[in-house]
Amino acid sequence: MEKGELKILNKGEEEEMELQGYRLCRWRLALVGFGVLCTGGFLLLLLYWMPEWCVKSTCTRTTARDAEVVLLRSTDEFRRWFLARVRVMLAPGSNPFHSLETQTTSPPSSPSSLSCPFSSPSSPPLANGYTPHPSDGSPAQELSRRFSDYQPTQMRYFTFHSTKYYWSDEMQNFNVLTGLEDLEVSCSTIHSEHSAGLTRNQQEYRRLFFGVNEIAVKVPSVFKLLIKEVLNPFYIFQLFSVILWSVDEYYYYAAAIVFMSVISIATSLYTIKKQYIMLHDMVAAHSIVRVSVCRANNDVEEILSTDLVPGDVVVIPSNGTIMPCDAVLVSGTCIVNESMLTGESVPVTKTNLPNPPPGEREGVDGAYNTEEHKRHTLFCGTNVIQTRFYTGELVKAVVVRTGFSTAKGQLVRSILYPKPTDFKLYRDAYLFLLCLVAVAGIGFVYSIVLSIMNEVPAKTIIIESLDIITITVPPALPAAMTAGIVYAQRRLKKIGIFCISPQRINICGQINLVCFDKTGTLTEDGLDLWGVQRVESGCFHLSEETAQKENLVKSQFVACMATCHSLTKIEGQLSGDPLDLKMFEATGWILEEATEEETALHNRIMPTVVRPPKQLLPSQPDASAEQDMELAELSSLYEIGIVRQFPFSSGLQRMSVVSRTLGEKCMDAFMKGAPEVVASLCKKETVPEDFAEVLEGYTKQGFRVIALAHRRLGSKLNWHKVQNINRDYIEANMEFLGLIIMQNKLKAETPAVLLDLHRANIRTIMVTGDNMLTAISVARDCGMIPPEDTVIIADALPPHDGQAAKITWRYADKPSRTTRLEEINISLEAEVHLEEPKTQELYHFAMNGKSFAIIAEHFPDMLQKLVLHGTVFARMAPDQKTQLIETLQGVDYFVGMCGDGANDCGALKRAHGGISLSELEASVASPFTSKTPNISCVPSLIREGRAALITSFCVFKFMALYSIIQYISVTLLYSVSSNLGDFQFLFIDIAIILLIVFTMSLNPAWKELVPRRPPSGLISGPLLFSVLTQILICLGFQTFTFLWVKKQPWYEKWKPLTDVCNQSDPLNVSDLNNTEVDEHNIQNFENTSLFYVSSFQYLIVAIVFSKGKPFRQPSYKNWPFVLSAVGLYFFLLFIMFHPVKGIDGFLEIVCVPFEWRLQLFLVILVNAAVSVLVEGLIDLQGYKCLSWLCPSKTAPKARYMHLAQELSLDPDWPPKPTTTTEAKPRPENGSVYDIIIINS
């Protein structure tokens, strides 16, 4: 094994990392220690900020197996470094699932304990025979002591982001122990080998590896948070600045900066602490409960949930509980509310894991997987509302995962350790700061050279040259930058949009494509029953409005509507999927569930029973009273019991039930689901020949269609066999019963919002789990696809019987008139220009989830071209929605996602701006949550994002100019051995800069979305051009003032007794200059002149940079900013033309002749006019000027623009309908494909 070996952790996963092993080196440590002493601790800070430097300077490379320290680097675009200390644990074995030879549950004091290798003789007997373990890390030591008699094994591990990575000799790498899934056990193995429970020793042994079952969100102490916050490079720079200013006796300004920093740190600490406490409370609310577990000797024991380990068998109480772990049901049924994880508030029925008999396991008994078997898995944090159980058998579940490995744990980890927000603005901001540092470096060298030439003392040289650096990098920059985001967040809150990731607001300003879920987002959540269309003898009847007819009560069609659902009664109210509710209510039937008492009296689960009300049953002919009674009884006894339920699966797109009608010997199977799927599982002769045409007719009109089917089961199938039978056996050879047609109305706001987005050149895409033709119809209805545009459906087929994967192309419908297919004309100008001008898109691609998966696997290059025009993605699974978002981001789209939270969690989290329309806890996964349950929040968010982004640019440009203006003033004054006074700095930084910065950020968003997008970064031509021209203007006017004052006839080197005012000033202020001796040479004519001009320059650039339309409201509507600017103008003009002794003394201003003040005022007016004029010209003609200066054609920046450019030259694009695209893998490289066009 090489020493330079690089290991890959979590390969192929989101948290993939590179790992290098290191061993501590003593001489390097000593050398670093000496360096820390020599640099006064600065080297230690540098190593704290740079983990890779820290490891490489104190350690030597070694193999991962022998490492004492591991250096980790993420493989994503951020390439972040982390370090972790490797620890060693002594354990009785190396595999938590190995069965150790001798096991006993006897207390240590009994004689049998002598043969038990896990019990230490010194351990006292404990209550209930188990040890309650606190969550402070001590359990591992405690257990290690108990297992000390056993031959110990050294286990090497490190902890990173609340996850333990153990060294595996077999894999020669560190890997995570997640739980029972690591064994890749089959469903039948869970029943046969893992459903009996663990002994206490097995449990304690496993806890050594899996740790305490707790999602521990430790709230850091204020001291820890303070240290972490204070060690931020920016605050260290501020500390350096404050020390420097104190040495130079700038006490007031230093105190003001300290005051600002203290407030900033205190606010930051309060916010961080509050977030930690909120998360801790959310997690801790139900994290520790008492649970009953089954032991290997059939005992049931009550323990704390923190003691649970994978493999434990927990008993789910009948009155429900909050799940403390992920567990798979092995017996009984549970009704669970999973809103905490999925956002779906509809109760879900969880059934026990299938256990196929030994002869039927081939092909159906796959490895257990939480995602595949989620209908049988109870997830941590979800609420079990009620259970159904046998008399002699409890509702049991086998613990699969614990702690941070659980579904809830993963969610909490994603909140605790989020990915940094990558945005061009922030990268450019750092580059800009580096430019300022470079400018500071020039000033630093200049001031040293100048001071040496003027024979200034060494101490003054050091202080003044370092002071230049503190002036150039403004200390209030971070506070100023976040102001705009904070204000935008407040405005969003007012319109009902809540944000948990404020940095994303700026990114939302760049969104140019939005994906929408359909049901509950674009359309109303509830469905209305439009009608039914029954089938008899393989032919469709005419459609009927209702199924509540006497002649249909006992039909299989109505029986299927009444039984094939997952409805349940919770506190007397019917609850379940909205579609199921509408369907059941349409029958008018009654649902009855057995009570707990009734269930306990029977040897099996009492079935849920459905029956029609008496008034729906056919009326009986007149007879004797006695017969009447008997007939009434018989008729009232028509009821159907639901014996077994196979829940709806989005993968299978169907659900089915097994039922028995009272008095019947045979059972019935009923199925409902996607029409195409149901028809494929029915006998061909029962499916009408015109099935496809009828279905297409409904789906084109935007109806949601569900098909029903039935099958009479054999008399040999008894209740027990049904409980263990595989659903594939039931769901075959069915008889097609007909269609239920549901209407899903568009929300009133949908068309108008989509039109707004279309006008703003923001692409819209529909991503839904519904039928494709229904989705296309809704897309046309809401204006996502204009009526005259053509829709091309891509049907992909996987490789089969030696044939390559292929895509067939067809029209969704024949266009109403002959439409000429034209390539889209995406503008290839610079992104910041009027990007994507309105061009009529004349074709759209549509595909389903199955085709999407095949194209992604076999045609990866084709997928990027398809998403350029893909508008409808139907039958998409939750992970495919996320994959689509990633593909769109891969071609450089800024993607927004709007969903109701049900299946959209992954996509909402992955998108640049995810907006959840659900207010449930799952919205924790989404950066934005809207109180308004419609898509009107999307344009509002984009508008606010654009306003916040432009505010960030304005503030950054203003802060850059502020530091440069001050830098120019100080550099000019250094040439005459002068500087700005302490109170001058104070006035500029507090009264002018802070007031202006915090009020210029208050401009609200512009009232409508415009087609143009704001620039995405600071390093863009027009922005840099704007900043540079303003710098040159300010430099020119300050230099002119500085040189011109010396040319004045009254000018002389200023002394305390100098009085130039009386020569021409009408005001008698001869005593204004009678001040004490000025050691720092602050009071002079150059200083006063530059102070006046620079003070006005700050206000001029603030007004010039405070942009309004088209992204923000005009500045004159921002009254705090207007009041501040006008107030400061009046104040400065007042002290300039009407000197006040107290103010002049405070600001260390000297009296100058009245004519000079008028001349200065003229300079300021000309400066203002030039600044406004130049900025206006840049706004109007900036792009033309830049293209004239740089005539070379630049390639488009965004990848989707490159693709559009390529496709515009491709004569075979878009693919013609009735053609097939075939993929042929090249033998030398499986990922490259030849694409062959075959005309059908």
Catalytic residue IDs:
517
- Give residues with Cβ within 8 angstroms of 711, minimum separation 6: 668, 669, 671, 730, 733, 734, 735
The H or E element containing residue 289 is none
Residue whose entry in the numeric block shows the structure tokens 């002119």: 1040
- C-alpha to C-alpha distance for 656 and 417, rounded to whole angstroms: 41
| Helix ranges restricted to H, 100-221 | 138-146, 187-193, 200-210
Start-to-end C-alpha separation, the chain = 56
- C-alpha to C-alpha distance for 381 and 415, rounded to whole angstroms: 15
The C-alpha R_g of the chain, in whole angstroms, comes to 37
Write the DSSP string, 629-677. HHHHHHHHT--EEEEEEEEEETTTTEEEEEEEETT-SS-EEEEEE-HHH
Report which DSSP code applies to 217: -
Contact in structure between 336 and 383 (CB atoms under 8 Å) = yes
Collapsing DSSP to helix, strand or coil, 407 comes out as helix
- C-alpha to C-alpha distance for 1110 and 1014, rounded to whole angstroms: 9
Q: Degrees (nearest 5) of the Cα angle 1139, 1145, 1149?
A: 65
Contact in structure between 372 and 366 (CB atoms under 8 Å) = yes
- C-alpha to C-alpha distance for 739 and 734, rounded to whole angstroms: 14
Single out the residue of 981, 1098, 990, 970 nearest to residue 255, CA to CA. Answer: 990
Contact in structure between 112 and 106 (CB atoms under 8 Å) = yes
- C-alpha to C-alpha distance for 771 and 705, rounded to whole angstroms: 8
Contact in structure between 948 and 488 (CB atoms under 8 Å) = yes
- C-alpha to C-alpha distance for 680 and 770, rounded to whole angstroms: 18
Torsion of CA 430, 432, 435, 441, to 10 degrees: -70
- Give residues with Cβ within 8 angstroms of 796, minimum separation 6: 805, 806, 807, 847, 850, 851, 852, 854, 855, 858, 859
Q: 513-516 and 763-767: which strand pairing?
A: parallel
Tokens, residue 792: 């091309």
Label residues 48-86 b or e (16+ Cβ within 10 Å = b). eeebbebbbbbbebbbbbebbbbbbbbeeeeeeebbbeb
Amino acid (one-letter) located at 226: L
Contact in structure between 356 and 364 (CB atoms under 8 Å) = yes
- C-alpha to C-alpha distance for 564 and 1163, rounded to whole angstroms: 85
Residue whose entry in the numeric block shows the structure tokens 């099935």: 691
The H or E element containing residue 69 is strand 69-74
Amino acid (one-letter) located at 42: F
Amino acid (one-letter) located at 828: L
Angle of the 1119-1137 helix axis to the 1154-1189 helix axis, nearest 10: 140
* Distance of alpha carbon 279 from the chain centroid: 16
Contact in structure between 642 and 607 (CB atoms under 8 Å) = yes
